Amino acid sequence: MLGGSGSGKSTLIKLILGLLRPDAGTILVDGEDITLCDEQELTEIRKKIGMVFQEGALFDSLSVYDNVAYRLTEEGIDEDEIEHEVIRMLRFVDLEDAIDKMPIELSGGMRRRVGIARALVGSPSIVLFDEPTAGLDPPTARTICELAIKLRDLEGVSSIFVTHEMNNLKYLTSEYAIVDSEGEVFFEEEGDKLCLINTKVMMIKQGDIIFDGTDEELKLSSDPYIHRFIRGR
Amino acid sequence: MNPVSRFLVELQDITLLFWRMLRGFRKQPRYFDEMVRQMDSIGVGSLAIVSLTGFFTGGVLILQAYPTLEYYGAQSSAGQSVAITLIRELGPVLCALMVAGRVGSAISAELGSMVVSQQIDAMRALGTSPARKLVTPRIVALIVTLPLLTVAADIFGLFGGGVVAYYLYGLDSNSYITSLRMGITIEDILGGIVKPIVFGFIIGLISCHKGLTTQGGTVGVGRSTTDAVVLSSITVIIADFFLSKVLQGFFWEYAFLGRILDVRNRNSCGRAGNDLNGNTGDRVSERRSCFR
Ligand SMILES: Nc1ncnc2c1ncn2[C@@H]1O[C@H](COP(=O)(O)OP(=O)(O)OP(=O)(O)O)[C@@H](O)[C@H]1O
Ligand SMILES: [Mg+2]
């Protein structure tokens, strides 16, 4: 999902999660209209959704470990299993060393990464990323895109990825992940052999969807706003 | 919005919060650990201030009442006068006010900051109900600990009264204790326990509600903290009046006979105050038997 600052991307994400209520319209999650659900039913639906908040929104009175473990602890899962899973997720976002720190002791980017780990723990089938790469260095941003690609291609996770950065858009719409016979994960560019069709681009302007289609269509679009957005001038 | 509809909306929100909190008991997880943690920080943490409040309140009651009692020659009912005021009214109310100030503000500031920093949203996003996880344990902790704190305040208050009576007015500690025991009735004690249960509930519900409905950043947190303390204090005091009235009516049926005899006894005890030997002891046991 693309869109300028203040165009309503975060708002849309919050609507999908049921954190905000729409005045009109319907929102379907796995075919179920969540605008008709009460808070308790929403809580059940949210259990299959992972959300990366733009501002991190970590629990500041809990350590990094407890933040990431939150969902599993709530579900009453075995402590050993939780620890195993938390360490795996933190290794994934390269924050194993920060496991006992408090959120206040982390940098902005580190907090974002903890937020990602927290959203992905427990393998949700839907993941909402609200600008997960903002404020991160290019290699880390790339890692996060790779993560989203892996979730998409290897684990069958549906996700919405909000971003401003054209790099991210390129990664997400032109690369796919495959596993070779030894179980190693590779990323390959789409090309003559294969064209990626499982990713669509949507653009929002002032709360309206002004574009909905593939990345190739986006590049060919004649809308001057979209043109400016892609080129950056 | 005009004040009336604002009040109604607020009342609706509080009722809904109460309803969600009740549902928190019914389903897993029940967050017992969290309840114990809250009881520790709310109950044990408030013990010192509540005891001090009780001690000096009891002290000042005797300090002010004693000269008057002495004027009527009723020094020996000093204990009784402290006991009735303290256990029926001042103990529960002062204790609730102290806890509203210390705990109510803490609760609404904590929940308010969590709202402002989107932590409540994050909690909902992770599939937990804030009402169940945050509100229920706090209210349960308040309901459990406030009566206990009140008892502590009462005991320290009676002790404080005794200290003042003994050291400042030279009242014999035996006669103080005897008259204390005469002053305290079963309905006083029951009323003194029922009230803080209701107060704890009021403080918890209002503070949680104010915290969770915080709007507008850091200033909003300050505003909801103030609101929580002011609103819960006022509600406690108003509820105290009606509760006293209800309890009076309630106990009237139970102790109809006892109370008539009780009043008669109390009068005679007051008058018999000067010859405090043997006689009063009989009267105490006589009065007790009235209650059985
Ligand atoms: N809590 C709120 N109350 C009122 N208006 C809001 C609130 N949150 C956001 N808005 C408004 O909604 C619009 C969309 O905001 P939103 O946060 O969705 O933008 P965004 O696309 O995520 O921007 P960014 O890329 O900067 O994160 C903005 O005009 C904003 O002022
Ligand atoms: Mg945003």
- pLDDT per residue over B2-55, tens digit each? 889 988 998 898 888 888 888 767 776 678 888 999 999 998 999 999 999 999
What CA–CA distance (Å, rounded) separates B262 from B80? Answer: 13
Q: Which residues surround ligand 2, an ion (CB under 5 A)?
A: A 10, 54
- What confidence tier does B268 reach under pLDDT thresholds 50, 70, 90? low
pLDDT at residue B275 greater than cutoff 50: no
Provide mean pLDDT across the span B245-271.
59
Contact list in B for residue A57 (CB cut-off 8 A) is 117-119, 121-122
Interface test with A, best of B107, B126, B129 (most A CBs within 10 A): B126
Provide the pairing of β-strand A28-29 with A32-33.
antiparallel
Contact A58/B122, CB-based, under 8 Å?
Answer: yes
pLDDT at residue B1 greater than cutoff 80: no
CA of A46 vs chain B CAs: smallest distance (Å): 5
Predicted confidence at residue B270, as pLDDT, reads 45
What CA–CA distance (Å, rounded) separates B99 from B83? Answer: 22
CB of B26 within 8 Å of any CB in chain A? no
Question: Mean pLDDT lowest for which of B15-24, B114-123, B189-198, B229-238?
Answer: B15-24
Nearest to A3 by CA among A232, A206, A217, A161: A206
What CA–CA distance (Å, rounded) separates A152 from B233? Answer: 54
What residue spans of chain A are helical by DSSP H? Answer: 9-17, 39-46, 64-74, 79-92, 108-120, 138-154, 166-174, 215-220, 224-231
Q: What is the pLDDT of residues B207-225, one digit of tens each?
A: 999 999 999 889 999 999 9
Q: What is the pLDDT of residues A76-131, one digit of tens each?
A: 888 999 999 999 989 888 888 989 999 999 988 888 889 999 998 888 999 999 99
Backbone angles phi, psi at B207, to 5 degrees: -65, -40
pLDDT at residue A3 greater than cutoff 70: yes
Provide mean pLDDT across the span A220-233.
84
pLDDT at residue B249 greater than cutoff 80: no
Q: What is the pLDDT of residues B140-193, one digit of tens each?
A: 999 999 999 999 999 999 999 999 999 998 888 888 888 888 888 887 888 888
Ligand 1: does its nearest atom lie under 6 Å from the Cβ of A167? Answer: no
Ligand 1: does its nearest atom lie under 6 Å from the Cβ of A54? Answer: yes
Maximal CA-CA distance, chain B: 73
Predicted confidence at residue A40, as pLDDT, reads 82
B219 Cβ contact list (under 8 Å, min separation 6): none
Ligand 1, residues A5, A11, A17, A130: which to mutate, most atoms within 8 A of Cβ? A11
Provide mean pLDDT across the span B64-92.
87
Ligand 1: does its nearest atom lie under 6 Å from the Cβ of A124? Answer: no
Predicted confidence at residue B267, as pLDDT, reads 55
B107 Cβ contact list (under 8 Å, min separation 6): B138, B204, B207, B208, B211, B228
A92 Cα distance to chain centroid: 15
Provide the pairing of β-strand A126-130 with A158-162.
parallel
For B:122-151, CB contacts with A below 8 A are 122-129
A206 CA → ligand 1 middle, Å = 10
Q: Residue with the nearest Cα to atom 18 of ligand 1?
A: A8
What CA–CA distance (Å, rounded) separates B286 from A193? Answer: 103
Ligand 1: does its nearest atom lie under 6 Å from the Cβ of A163? Answer: no
Interface test with B, best of A43, A66, A114 (most B CBs within 10 A): A43
ipTM of predicted complex: 0.87
Contact A19/B121, CB-based, under 8 Å?
Answer: yes
Please report which helix (H) or strand (E) contains residue A232, including its range. Answer: none
Q: Which residue in the block uniquely carries the two structure tokens 């009453």?
A: A76
Ligand 1, residues A9, A19, A53: which to mutate, most atoms within 8 A of Cβ? A9
Predicted confidence at residue A62, as pLDDT, reads 92
For residue B67, is the peptide bond before it cis, meaning its omega torsion is within 30 degrees of 0?
Answer: no
pTM (two decimals):
0.84
Chain A, nearest residue to B31 by Cα? A74
Q: What is the pLDDT of residues B75-84, one digit of tens each?
A: 888 888 888 8
CB of A121 within 8 Å of any CB in chain B? no
A22 CA → ligand 1 middle, Å = 14
Q: What is the 3-state secondary structure (H, E, C) of chain B?
A: CCHHHHHHHHHHHHHHHHHHHHHHHHCCCCCHHHHHHHHHHHHHHHHHHHHHHHHHHHHHHHHHHHHHHHHCCCHHHHHHHHHHHHHHHHHHHHHHHHHHHHHHHHHHHHHHHHHHCCHHHHHHHCCCCHHHHHHHHHHHHHHHHHHHHHHHHHHHHHHHHHHHHHHHHCCCHHHHHHHHHHHCCHHHHHHHHHHHHHHHHHHHHHHHHHHHCCCCHHHHHHHHHHHHHHHHHHHHHHHHHHHHHHHHHHHHHHCHHHHHHHHHHHHHHHHHHHCCCCHHHHHHHHHHHHHC
Predicted confidence at residue A182, as pLDDT, reads 84
- What confidence tier does A180 reach under pLDDT thresholds 50, 70, 90? confident
CB of A20 within 8 Å of any CB in chain B? no
What CA–CA distance (Å, rounded) separates A64 from A70? Answer: 10
What CA–CA distance (Å, rounded) separates A46 from A24? Answer: 21
- Tokens coding A164: 């401003």
- SS3 state of residue A209: strand
What CA–CA distance (Å, rounded) separates A56 from A110? Answer: 9
Predicted confidence at residue B31, as pLDDT, reads 82
CA of A224 vs chain B CAs: smallest distance (Å): 36
- Tokens coding B271: 């008058």
Tell me which long-range contacts A72-75 makes (C-beta under 8 A, separation of at least 24).
A72/A121, A72/A122, A74/B29, A74/B126, A74/B127, A74/B128, A75/A122
Nearest to A44 by CA among B267, B127, B90: B127
Ligand 1: does its nearest atom lie under 6 Å from the Cβ of A9? Answer: yes
Predicted confidence at residue B172, as pLDDT, reads 85
Query: Which ligand 1 atom is nearest residue A13's CA?
Result: 18
Contact list in A for residue B125 (CB cut-off 8 A) is 17, 19, 46, 49, 51, 53
8 Å CB contact between B161 and B82: yes
**Distance set, CA A183 to CA A84, A85, A120, A198 (Å):** 21, 20, 21, 23
Nearest to A133 by CA among A94, A95, A161: A161
- Tokens coding B282: 């009989």
Q: What is the pLDDT of residues A12-64, one digit of tens each?
A: 999 999 999 999 999 999 888 999 888 888 888 898 899 999 888 899 999 99
Out of B122, B125, B127, closest to residue A74 by CB: B127
Chain A, nearest residue to B123 by Cα? A59
A228 CA → ligand 2 middle, Å = 20
Q: Which residue in the block uniquely carries the two structure tokens 């609730």?
A: B96
Nearest-ligand number for the alpha carbon of B121? 1
Q: What percent of chain B has pLDDT over 70?
A: 84
What CA–CA distance (Å, rounded) separates A135 from A141? Answer: 9
- SS3 state of residue A200: coil
A150 Cβ contact list (under 8 Å, min separation 6): A177, A185
Ligand 1: does its nearest atom lie under 6 Å from the Cβ of A11? Answer: yes
CB of A62 within 8 Å of any CB in chain B? no
Quote the Cα angle for B224-B225-B231, to 5°: 80
Predicted confidence at residue B291, as pLDDT, reads 42
Predicted confidence at residue B253, as pLDDT, reads 58
The average confidence (pLDDT) of chain A is 88
**Distance set, CA A99 to CA A66, A113, A139 (Å):** 9, 12, 21
8 Å CB contact between B209 and B104: no
CA of B211 vs chain A CAs: smallest distance (Å): 16
